[in-house]
Amino acid sequence: MMKAVVLDEFGSAPSLRTVQRPAPGPGEALVRVAASGVNPLDLKIIAGAAAHARVEPPLVLGIDLAGVIAAVGEGVRGLRVGDEVYGMTGGVGRNPGSLAEYSAVDADLLAVKPARLSMAQAAALPLAAITAWEGLVDRAGVKPGQLVLVQGGAGGVGHVAVQLALARGAAVFATGTGTSLRVIKDLGAVPIDYRVTPVTDYLATATGGQGFDVIFDTVGGAALDDAFTAVRTYTGHVVSILGWGTHSLAPLSFRGASYSGVFTLLPLLTGTGRAHHGEILRAVAALADDGKLTPVLDQELYRLESVADAHRAVADGTARGKVVVRVSALCPLSRNGYGRIMDKVVARAGEAVADIPDDATLAVGGFGLCGIPSALILAVLEAGTRGLEVVSNNAGVDDWGLGLLLGARRLRRVIASYVGENKEFARQYLAGELEVELTPQGTLAERMRAGGSGIAAFFTRTGVGTQVAEGGMPWRYDADGNVVLASPPKPVQVFDGLEYVLERAIVADFGLVRAWKGDRHGNLVYRDAARNFNPLAAMCGRVTIAEVEHLVEPGDIDPNEVHTPGVFVQRVVALTPEQAADKRIEKRTVRGNS
């Protein structure tokens, strides 16, 4: 289950309620939503004044999103679990929207999020960026040196269009009034106050009376009529995203110029052309990462619980920039929206592991039962996740730690250094129910460290002359005890007269670790023997989740005491005192009576 904002009928206030969490179908990706961008179209949909959006209530609202891929359906290529993505994915037609903790969307509509932008910034971009791109690039083909006029240059689409035209080498002018003129100037365009400057005046001063090569209209109405008189003769091109009224084409025709309309929702409504939206967003991400495109965000923070306030800010015009709703802890709490994920605390272990899909690979910290992330393991067990591959020093004991997942038949493969005290582990391995890759302990540690360090492989002396290097180590038996899958031989090379075997690094989909102390930024400190495989598991996980016994505020941990920097950690779960105290002893030894 999950929380979502649902429109039940036109004209009524949307409600926040619990609904069924979707599963990705073929060609779809399940996105754990970090943030949802608010667009004026959302308000028209709620009011029942957007017939062109073809919405059929009940429907989850929200057109734009940014988040992290939690699972992928059959046939998805180019995206994988843990990728940070953004897209214009729903909220129109029959496509569920982004004001929900999870959204199953057509993977063609997604692109990897710009690395330079926060989740909030990325969620503000898709509809605006795609609309601007379709108008300026696909329709008008803006070129370097051209004169471009953006009508409504400080608006949601307009301010993106200004930056896009500048990035393509055009000289850009934009209309606005009041405080929007400063926004336009700061973006790098020449501001024109449409309330005090007649069209004939700025046509003369900006173009010498020749007209603009491209006019991108985001206003409609009289502004579109003005555009028909201000475009360059013969080669000029007017593009409008609001050409819905009745207009005389005579002024445009008398200039021999051309006109195009943009209807960005078509791929979402028809299913045709969706891959192009993904292509546009990849190109936009490249511009954003080059510093050529940055959305302007409103400074107010909104949550799912305060969606009505977010909609009100757009409706009454009090917003100063794009309005974004923070959906989950993947989006920063900072009001400026420009920071990366800085508050990584998730309320419950179950929420933290909810997006771990079946068949994922988990790197799990701990040595025996010391320092194991027991609360996270229990949460994975309760989530019902299956087919997991686990990388860990060992697999707990029969009734605790990873032994719980083994006993419930949730593991398909284990990479470990020894079987340990787990009889069920040994039984499943020898009975052919579990695939096991036994690895020398130091080699296992280095494989995990290398994976977190970006090192693809390394050479080591350990294992030379044994089945570790030569192959033939049993990975899987059949029910009769015959080896049906054995380790392959590994490359061996001589350095300074000695043989070394090549070992591949390990990168897991998720890392689960336990720390004695951690802050909201994800910086971790381990205590005594618990500082075993935990730092390594944290490093090699694409998404690392840490359960901490003591949650402190940023700055409370001396930087010199940090064992795992927060850059390796995406989520933090604060344990209750009872959870923190629940530490089992693998083999209890007591002194006999003397």
Query: pLDDT tens-digit profile of 26-73?
Result: 999 999 999 999 999 999 999 999 999 999 999 999 999 999 999 999
Report the amino acid identity of residue 136. L
Domain spanning 134-263 has what CATH number?
3.40.50.720
The string of DSSP codes covering 489-520 is P--EEEETTEEEEEEE---EEEEEEEEEEEET
Only one residue has tokens 């015959």, namely: 482
Q: Which fold has domain 344-456+505-584?
A: Glutaconate Coenzyme A-transferase (3.40.1080)
Residue 127's contacts (CB-CB under 8 Å, 6 or more residues apart) are 37, 39, 41, 63, 64, 88, 156, 157, 264
Q: How far apart are the first and last CA of the chain?
A: 58
pLDDT in tens, 335-374: 444 344 467 888 788 888 988 999 999 999 988 888 899 9
pLDDT at site 134: 97
The architecture (CATH level 2) of 2-125+267-326 comes to: Alpha-Beta Complex (3.90)
**Is the four-CA dihedral 119, 120, 124, 129 of positive or negative sign?**
negative
Q: How far apart are CA 509 and CA 493, in angstroms?
A: 30
178 three-class SS: coil
Burial of 493 (C-beta count, 10 Å sphere; 0-12/13-18/19+): exposed
DSSP string, 297-351: B-S--EEGGGHHHHHHHHHTT--SSB-EEE-STTS---TTS-S-S---B-S-HHH
* C-alpha 379 chain-centroid distance: 22
Each residue's pLDDT, cut to its tens digit, for the chain (594 residues) gives 899 999 999 999 999 999 999 999 999 999 999 999 999 999 999 999 999 999 999 999 999 999 999 999 999 999 998 899 999 999 999 999 999 999 999 999 999 999 888 899 999 999 999 999 999 999 999 999 999 999 999 999 999 999 999 999 999 999 999 888 989 998 999 999 999 999 989 989 999 999 999 999 999 999 999 999 999 999 999 999 988 889 999 999 999 999 999 999 999 999 999 999 999 999 999 999 888 999 988 878 788 999 999 999 999 888 888 999 999 878 866 544 434 446 788 878 888 898 899 999 999 998 888 889 999 999 999 999 999 999 998 887 777 888 899 989 999 999 999 876 778 888 999 999 999 999 999 999 999 999 999 999 999 999 999 999 999 999 999 999 999 999 999 999 999 999 999 999 999 999 999 999 999 899 999 998 889 899 999 999 999 999 999 998 888 899 999 999 999 999 999 998 888 888 877 777 777 776
Does residue 527 contact residue 516 with C-beta atoms inside 8 Å?
A: yes
Residue type, position 594, single letter:
S
Of 151, 223, 204, which is closest to residue 180 (Cα–Cα)? 151
What pLDDT is attached to residue 142?
Answer: 97
Place of tokens 């302990």: 441
The string of pLDDT tens digits covering residues 225-284 is 999 999 999 999 999 998 888 999 999 999 999 999 999 999 999 999 999 999 999 999
Place of tokens 């020894």: 418
Check residue 92 and give left, alpha or beta (phi > 0: left; psi -120 to 50: alpha). beta
If we measure between CA atoms, which residue out of 494, 417, 506, 416 comes closest to residue 461? 494
Domain boundaries, the chain: 2-125+267-326, 134-263, 344-456+505-584
Between CA 507 and CA 510 the distance in angstroms is 9
At 4, which helix (H) or strand (E)?
strand 2-7
258 contacts 236 by C-beta, under 8 angstroms: yes
Cis peptide before 559 (omega within 30 of 0): no
Q: How far is CA 41 from CA 95, 125, 227, 431, in A?
A: 15, 14, 24, 59
Is pTM beyond 0.85? Reply is no
- The pLDDT score that the predictor gives to residue 342 is 63
Structure tokens at 140: 């008008």
Q: What is the pLDDT of residue 267?
A: 95
